[in-house]
Amino acid sequence: MRTAFWLVGATALALATPAMAADSIKIGFVSTFSGPTAVIGNDMRNSFELALDHLGRKMGGKPVEVIYEDDGQKPDVGKQKTEKLVQSDKVDFIVGYIWSNVLLASLKSAVDSQTFLISANAGPSQLAGELCSPYVFSTSWQNDQTPEAMGLYMNQKGIKSVFLIGPNYAAGKDMLAGVKSTFKGQVVGEEYTVWPSQLDFSAELSKARASKADAIFVFYPGAAGVQFLNQYVQAGLKQQIPLYTAFTIDELSLPLQKENALGIPGAQEWVNDLPNEENKRFVADYRKKYPGLRPTFYGAQSYDAAHLINSAVVAVKGDSSKKDAMKAEMEKANFKSVRGPFKYGKNHIPIQSFYLQDVVKDANGELSLKTVATIVENSQDRFHDKCPMK
């Protein structure tokens, strides 16, 4: 009797699920939820969930269903998870991707199935150039853009020579290339470290010191940024050679970097104190919903991704089969971004401003990131000419 009861229940559920799915907007979310960089994935998920709360958990009148998948920071796993979302979950959108190498491995599966992919962080140069696709949008940047802004700032500071250090993977190469494209002085050294396993930078720091450069530029996202900064300070280099960064100091790494990060500049397209209304609401509600945590740029980009998708779904009144109409709507970037208004280039990469951020003690004596100046406005990536899309 009992068995029969369960069977009936299970059958009812099995029948009910597909019927519900057709009436909902399905979103797959691929990010890193395990290992040392899981904190980044958590921040992205938190922000995405907050955006859904703000949207009433509905888009175009339909309930939203999100499936979170963990890529473990590994390209092969990211590809498998993307294939699973496309083929068996049949999602309407895939969002996320912290790591450029994971995104590059996963890209083809999404594009071939004509599923919209919104990168909320990774921006490999290939994605902006020859691999651009009508189905791929970014709510972040192309990797080179942020370090390009830093290169411009170093020119303003009158720096004549720089030593570059970064991880040896897709994004690391883009980042160092980005600085080199705008920095007018001399590049006296360029070191790539094994990613993500190498955490000891003593050899590279010794070489930087021996190079007698005016400045060091680094790109180390996640926990590696903490490790690099610790070792930079312990080596006594903070008094010798100033450090310029991209994606190395953020709200996740700052509580671990502490005073070591004070006064070290970085470039970013979003800072927590940007004065627009959407951003104030995002930051305040985030801190209310997740006590003890602060949102990062990873989160801001994920929050924007939810709103970008919402704009498309609303435009087609919830009919997610109208892909052309959704694409046309997303190309307008017709939503209120927490970084302020931006436009899309024809390769679906934002044309946007980059700010100089600094680490300061706020009114409560806590370390926080602060906008100091706008380095560049309407920055467009260098690869859009290579994109065949019109």
Binding residues vs another protein (CB under 8 A):
35-36, 38-39, 42, 168, 173, 190-194, 197-200, 202-204, 206-207, 209-210, 223, 226-227, 230-231, 233-236, 252, 255-258
Distance between CA atoms of residues 45 and 35, nearest Å:
16
For residue 386, which of 174, 137, 135, 131 has the smallest C-alpha distance? 131
Distance between CA atoms of residues 156 and 348, nearest Å:
30
Which residue, 148 or 191, has its beta carbon nearer to another protein?
Answer: 191
Helix H or strand E segment including 350: strand 350-361
Which residue, 259 or 319, has its beta carbon nearer to another protein?
Answer: 259
Question: Minimum CB separation from another protein for residue 233, in Å?
Answer: 7
Strand, helix or coil for residue 134? coil
Specify whether the CB–CB gap between 193 and 201 falls below 8 A.
yes
Question: Minimum CB separation from another protein for residue 355, in Å?
Answer: 25
Question: Minimum CB separation from another protein for residue 251, in Å?
Answer: 11
Question: Minimum CB separation from another protein for residue 18, in Å?
Answer: 34
For residue 347, which of 308, 305, 304, 385 has the smallest C-alpha distance? 385
Question: Minimum CB separation from another protein for residue 346, in Å?
Answer: 28
Which residue, 137 or 297, has its beta carbon nearer to another protein?
Answer: 297
Specify whether the CB–CB gap between 71 and 43 falls below 8 A.
no
Which residue, 168 or 181, has its beta carbon nearer to another protein?
Answer: 168
Distance between CA atoms of residues 97 and 78, nearest Å:
8
Distance between CA atoms of residues 23 and 186, nearest Å:
58
Distance between CA atoms of residues 305 and 302, nearest Å:
5
Which residue, 293 or 328, has its beta carbon nearer to another protein?
Answer: 293
CB-side neighbour CA atoms (13 Å) of 27:
28
Question: Minimum CB separation from another protein for residue 278, in Å?
Answer: 27
Which residue, 167 or 345, has its beta carbon nearer to another protein?
Answer: 167
Question: Minimum CB separation from another protein for residue 290, in Å?
Answer: 12
Q: Find the largest Cα–Cα distance for the chain.
A: 83
Question: Minimum CB separation from another protein for residue 148, in Å?
Answer: 18
Residue 69 identity (one-letter amino acid) = E
Specify whether the CB–CB gap between 116 and 107 falls below 8 A.
no
- The beta strand positions in the chain, using DSSP E, are 25-31, 58-59, 62-70, 93-96, 116-119, 136-138, 161-167, 186-193, 215-218, 243-246, 266-268, 343-344, 350-361, 367-379
Distance between CA atoms of residues 246 and 60, nearest Å:
37
- Strand 116-119 and strand 161-167: the pairing is unpaired
Which residue, 16 or 210, has its beta carbon nearer to another protein?
Answer: 210
Question: Minimum CB separation from another protein for residue 272, in Å?
Answer: 18
Distance between CA atoms of residues 143 and 337, nearest Å:
19
Which residue, 199 or 351, has its beta carbon nearer to another protein?
Answer: 199
Which residue, 20 or 203, has its beta carbon nearer to another protein?
Answer: 203
Which residue, 60 or 196, has its beta carbon nearer to another protein?
Answer: 196
For residue 68, which of 95, 92, 88, 86 has the smallest C-alpha distance? 95
Question: Minimum CB separation from another protein for residue 293, in Å?
Answer: 9
Name residue 361's beta-bridge partners.
367
